[in-house]
Amino acid sequence: MSMDKTRFFDTQATETWARAEYTDQETEKLRQVMSAAGVLPGMNVFEPGCGTGRLTQLMSHQIGPEGGVVALDMSRAMLEVSRNRLKGAENVSLIMDTMENTNLVPDYFDAVICHNVFHHFSNKIAMLRKTAEILKPQGQFLIHHFLELSEINNPARKIHDIVYQDLMPSLEQMQSMLSLSGMKMTYYSDSNDGFIVRAALA
């Protein structure tokens, strides 16, 4: 399943939805969301499902030379675009792996940030447990999507069978998954301005 999805995302790396630069409005929104999640210069941030590295680049600037961004994606083609985009960004490391199975240093990150990706994780509990393991005790977990939940899950938006079942959990499901993973929700917002969940270690 995961291999098939990996190949699917490989085919998407040249598509406009994956590569187009963020508009000024999107960039401003992401800056606000990061700032609300406490992303500050000097922090160590982890970004699973970084795709073509657009947010990675933004965060690299935000955290500055004293901080570090580790960005991961299972798609070789997506990471290739990220690698080109982030050439020379000394505070960025890129990893090719699945979020659920990757090995990272526990207790290391100040923030884990999922942008436009959480619904795609095949094993969300494994993803959340990994997040809880790598966050520092005061670390923040953020899920953000430009769209509201009903749009993320709208079957008409799914561009291929392989992602048809990739759904954002309901509020109740999210609370339960976070709790099973040793985290607690600290903020939830679902509106036509986007979807945001913030959580911390329980």
Binding site for ligand SAM (CB under 6 A): 9, 48-52, 54-55, 72-75, 78, 98-100, 115-117, 120-122
Q: Which residue is nearest to ligand SAM (CB)?
A: 51
CB-nearer residue toward ligand SAM: 173 or 202: 173
Dist CA 78 CA 104 (whole Å): 20
For residue 113, give the nearest of 41, 189, 197, 32 by alpha carbon.
Answer: 197
| 87: its two tokens | 């050439």
CB-nearer residue toward ligand SAM: 30 or 43: 30
CB 62, min distance to ligand SAM, A? 16
CB-nearer residue toward ligand SAM: 15 or 107: 15
CB 75, min distance to ligand SAM, A? 4
CB-nearer residue toward ligand SAM: 66 or 131: 131
